Structure 1
Amino acid sequence: MNANEQIGAGIGLVSIIIYLAIFAATIAGMWKTFEKAGKPGWAAIIPIYNIIVLIEIVGKPMWWIVLLLVPCVNYVALVWLTNLLSKSFGKGEGYTVGLVLLPFVFYPMLGFGDAEYQGPSAAEANPGVQ
């Protein structure tokens, strides 16, 4: 292996380590966030099921999973669910922006920080509507 190949391999290895650290921080934060909301933390690592648990945490009806299957609509619905998650923990729209743009920073802050689950925000905003 020549010097350029070694440098390239080193950069690739460092990139993989950074990616895995970011992924682990996000998952750990989601795990603790789910536990704070009274749900199993392991649900954060199960694809699709983690979205179902998120829908339960924020108090939206289960048919919202259909919105997440529709192209283009799924982005809007996921941001909306993230906003409701922020509100469920007493945070505002600024925190939602953080969760969407920097989840590896804001999910650990939500999960390991002093934020407390205040109940499903969607149910409080629309009492009796399911």
Structure 2
Amino acid sequence: MNDITDQAQLTTLFQSYGVFGIVWYLVIAIALWRIFSKAGYPGILAIIPIVNVFVLVKVAGYSAWMTLLYLVPIANLIFSIFVAIRLGQRFGKGGAFSFFLLWLFSVIGYLILGFGGARYSPRR
């Protein structure tokens, strides 16, 4: 990185990833907006970066305080699987759907839940 053109090329690379990141976040926010609306929460909360995780945990049926488990290194992976499975149960989906499409490929799963025919059923 001795040349100024090398630095300019690196900046251009980061700008293209930035646009991709914004588009990715907008798709997730749109999907979560629909999920929150189906669950009876205001959809606008899907746009706010950290608040959307709190609301997603509440939609799954856990206390919002449980969101703090995302800060613990190994517990966050285990808890995210639990949230995905419980979210799938709330929308009437099975364990395989929840694990693969709500945990591994969450954007696809959120879009299916939000725009599909799945209905939210609160804790029984």
TM-score bracket, normalised by the shorter chain, equals 0.7 to 0.9
> CA separation of 1:113/1:15 partners in 2, compared to 1, >3 Å: closer, same or farther?
same
SS of residue in 1 equivalent to 2:71: coil
Residue number in structure 2 paired with 1:127: none
Gaps of 5+ in 2: 1-11
- 1:22-101 matches, within 5 Å, as 22-96=24-98, 97-101=100-104
Structure 1 stretch displaced more, 96-105 or 81-90: 96-105
CA RMSD of aligned residues (A): 2.5
TM-score, normalised by the number of residues in structure 2:
0.75
Structure 2: distance between partners of 1:119 and 1:21: 31
Please list every run of 5 or more consecutive structure 1 residues that lacks an aligned counterpart in the other structure.
1-8, 125-130
Count matched residues: 116
Structure with the greater relative contact order (CA < 8 A, sep ≥ 6): 1 or 2? Answer: 1
Q: Which moved more, 1:21-30 or 1:83-92?
A: 21-30
1:12 and 1:66 mapped to 2: Cα distance?
31
